[in-house]
Amino acid sequence: MPELPEVETIVRDLDKKLKNKKLVAIDSRDKKVFQLSRKELKNLLGKKVIAVRRRAKMIVFDFGGYYLIIHLKMTGQLVLKTKTGWLAGGHPILNKSGGLPNKFSRVIFKFNDGSRLFFNDIRRFGWIKLIDKDEFLKFNLGLGIEPLSSDFTLEYFKQVLERRKRIKIKQALLEQKYLAGIGNIYADESLYAARLRPFRRVRTLKPAEIKRLWLTIPRILTLAIKHRGTSFSDYVDARGEQGNFIKYLKVYGRAGEKCGNCGGFVKKIKLAGRGTHWCDSCQK
């Protein structure tokens, strides 16, 4: 599943292409993924894309009073076809030569410049929702602070950890209602960079360790965005390219390999159902 850096990469590319374009038609082929009433459709058509943004791990199309929320989940993909080219972000269901629409095309959005945005999903885990201003406010309030925003202060981070002091630190980082967008990859990488074991209880962290982790999280996420995210077999960015941050991973996906810092071996366990990676020597 794409995390904050991967979704941010997709969002930035789509915003450049779709900002100020008008939505003129929607072809919804799968009611499980997306269903609109006639009234909702009437309200949305003809609206201009104010911006394409990210909230946590979700893509938000702002139509000025109405918001399309898209979650790619495990196998979702967005493909934008324009007169001059294409962009494909998410699961690599098809390449440049692939025909569209195909059997995985669940929803097609058409814009006034002739471009079309395809939401494809093999296993139908992804979803799209249309909400109004009031619903967007509730949606927004249900998610935590963005770790790349100015609201992610040391004081806020301390408050989050104080509420969750009995659980393990990695679990605390993954709770979207407190911190929005951090997933498995960047939790492991941030904890490695902060020299903290993922299974330590929050209550055992010293003030200096909390501050170190608080400083580390934005640094790791910013670096990942710079390199257009991490790419494995199930993710490409909005240019249809693989993210380059995989070259910079220190522990995630490297179980059994030597730690680049100390020469010890990277270990892996299951923590709250997630594969979790760390170095016994570098992390305490």
Report yes or no: 274 and 174 within 8 Å, Cβ to Cβ: yes
Burial of 84 by CB count in 10 Å (0-12 exposed, 13-18 middle, 19+ buried)?
A: exposed
DSSP string, 82-144: -SS-EEEEES----TT--SS-TTEEEEEEETTS-EEEEEESS---EEEEEEHHHHHHHHHTS-
Of 113, 90, 87, nearest in space to 100 by CA: 87
Cα gap 130→134, rounded to integer Å: 12
Q: Cite the active site residues.
A: 2-3, 57, 274
Report yes or no: 258 and 240 within 8 Å, Cβ to Cβ: no
DSSP string, 206-243: -HHHHHHHHHHHHHHHHHHHHTT-B--TT-B-TBS---
Scanning the structure block, which residue is given the tokens 């010890």?
264
Cα gap 44→104, rounded to integer Å: 24
Cα gap 235→69, rounded to integer Å: 19
